[in-house]
């Protein structure tokens, strides 16, 4: 038997940061893989959760996916530990392993914390590109940690926003978030005390809260004609009648929407309010042209994305390709 020496590339958080991948590159990679999903060129399993006996401090999400056009498979493990800010740690820390799908050879191990942050924001942006009004002026955003920065900054690049309103549970958190946003955008940013203030008359409503138990923050009455709504907190922050006012409900993947214990519309799926019959489309069907997106200015459209593993794989491919060209990271002997 011939023994082939195998090395893999380790990419730390700083290694990934130094690659200086732009928001536009991230959005393009995510939109391309969403289109591939719509054309049936991806393979993945719904995420699974590992909930340790840790007194409710947090849990792990395990995501597995393959993208045929990129010839790459990957597995990401990401923690969701909300109290981490008390220790000076991110609430979400991720690690991704990438594999050659034709041999099973591991190609890379990388810090996937940045991937988790930006791919969620990019999915919000891709959804908005196809489902929000092109003349959206006011963005209301609830939540200030994790993916919030990418949500807001990516949406800001796509729309002629005149005001960005942000809020979160802790005053110091929302003020710091607003200050961080003001450093990178000329769009006026206002930190407000409540979700109702953030969402009042907003054209784009994003609910990315980190709740301990279900609490209605995104109220049905806040959704005006023409609004684009994105609720994706792990624990539901919407009212049960929210879907009653929606003209279209779009998800990233229906099978993923039905899986797991968590998600903003978990109760809507469990009670039959959201089903395969009431669903308008998966976002891949819209991006690939199989189904229409926004058709009228006054449509109220909701987009629920739970986070697909294929997005992680697409961005891992972008990182790995860039790292190979720059000879970035550390080569480790595997066997």
Model pTM? 0.90
Using 50, 70 and 90 to split pLDDT, how confident is the model at 221? confident
Q: Are residues 102 and 242 in the same domain?
A: no
Residue 276 lies in a domain: yes
Q: How far apart are CA 27 and CA 283, in angstroms?
A: 14
CB 76 within 8 A of CB 93: no
pLDDT tens per residue across span 25-50: 999 999 999 999 999 999 998 888 89
Does 126 map to a domain?
no
CATH at 235: 3.40.50.720
**Tens digit of each residue's pLDDT (9 = 90 or more) over 261-300:** 666 666 666 677 777 788 899 999 999 999 999 999 999 9
Place of tokens 């609720």: 231
Does the pLDDT at position 327 exceed 90? Answer: yes
71 and 136 assigned to the same domain: no
Residues 319, 288 share a domain: no
**Pair 157, 168 in one domain:** yes
Strands, E assignment, the chain: 7-11, 42-50, 59-67, 72-80, 94-99, 106-111, 138-142, 163-167, 189-191, 204-207, 228-231, 248-251, 281-282, 301-304, 330-333
Domain that holds residue 34: 7-115+310-333
In a domain, 291, yes or no: yes
In this prediction, residue 268 carries a pLDDT of 65
Are 192 and 88 contained in the same domain? Answer: no
Q: Which tens digits make up the pLDDT trace of 69-116? A: 999 999 999 998 988 888 998 888 999 999 999 999 999 999 999 999
Encoded tokens for 180: 């961080």
Task: Mark whether 146 and 70 lie in a shared domain.
Answer: no
d(CA 163, CA 183): 15
Q: Where does the pLDDT of residue 244 fall: very low under 50, low under 70, confident under 90, or very high at 90 and above?
A: confident
pLDDT in tens, 129-169: 999 999 999 999 998 877 899 999 999 999 999 999 999 98
Q: What is the mean pLDDT of residues 185-202?
A: 94
210 has a pLDDT exceeding 80: no
Quick one: which of 306, 242, 307, 233 has its CA closest to 268? Answer: 242
- Number of compact structural domains in the chain: 2
Q: What is the pLDDT of residues 8-20, one digit of tens each?
A: 999 999 999 999 9
- State residue 260's pLDDT score: 61
Average pLDDT over residues 306-327: 95
If asked whether residues 148 and 249 sit together in one domain, one would say yes
C-alpha 120: how far from chain center: 2
Find, among 30, 37, 32, the residue nearest to 290 by Cα: 37
Distance CA 226, CA 52 (A): 42
155 SS3 class: helix
pLDDT above 80: residue 216: no
Domain match, 274 and 167 both: yes
Query: To 10 degrees, the CA torsion angle through 140, 146, 149, 150?
Result: -100
Q: Which of 141, 142, 184 is nearest to 164 (CA)?
A: 141
Identify the H or E element spanning 237: none
d(CA 192, CA 194): 6
Residue 204: band (very low, low, confident or very high) from pLDDT cuts 50, 70, 90 = very high
The answer to whether residue 122 sits within a structural domain is: no
pLDDT of residue 129: 97
CA distance 325 to 74: 20
Q: Which CATH number fits the domain that encloses residue 82?
A: 3.30.1780.10
Does 2 fall in a domain?
Answer: no
């Amino acid at each position: 038997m011939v023994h082939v020496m195998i090395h893999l590339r380790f990419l730390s958080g700083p290694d990934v940061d130094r690659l200086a991948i732009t928001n536009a590159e991230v959005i393009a990679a995510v939109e391309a893989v969403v289109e591939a999903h719509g054309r049936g060129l991806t393979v993945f399993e719904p995420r699974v959760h590992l909930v340790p006996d840790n007194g409710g401090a947090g849990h792990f999400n395990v995501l597995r996916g393959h993208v045929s056009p990129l010839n790459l498979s990957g597995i990401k493990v990401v923690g969701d530990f909300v109290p981490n800010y008390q220790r000076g740690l991110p609430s979400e820390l991720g690690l991704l392993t990438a594999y050659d799908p034709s041999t099973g050879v591991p190609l890379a191990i990388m810090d996937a914390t940045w991937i988790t942050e930006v791919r969620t924001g990019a999915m919000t942006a891709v959804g908005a590109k196809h489902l929000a009004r092109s003349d959206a002026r006011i963005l209301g955003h609830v939540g200030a940690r994790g993916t919030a920065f990418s949500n807001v900054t990516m949406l800001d690049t796509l729309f002629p926003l005149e005001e960005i309103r942000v809020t979160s549970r802790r005053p110091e958190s929302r003020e710091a978030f607003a200050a961080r946003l003001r450093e990178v955008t000329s769009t006026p940013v206002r930190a407000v005390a409540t979700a109702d203030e953030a969402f009042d008359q907003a054209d784009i409503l994003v609910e990315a809260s980190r709740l301990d138990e279900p609490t209605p923050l995104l109220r049905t009455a806040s959704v005006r004609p023409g609004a684009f709504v994105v609720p994706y907190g792990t624990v539901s922050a919407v009212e049960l009648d929210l879907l009653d006012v929606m003209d279209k409900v779009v998800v990233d993947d229906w099978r993923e929407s039905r899986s797991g214990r968590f998600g903003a519309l978990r109760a809507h799926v469990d009670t039959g309010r959201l089903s395969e019959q009431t669903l308008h489309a998966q976002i891949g069907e819209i991006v690939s042209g199989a189904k229409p997106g926004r058709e009228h200015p006054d449509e109220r459209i909701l987009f629920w994305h739970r986070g697909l593993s294929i997005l992680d794989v697409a961005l891992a491919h972008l990182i790995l390709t860039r790292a190979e060209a720059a000879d970035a990271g550390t080569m480790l002997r595997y066997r």
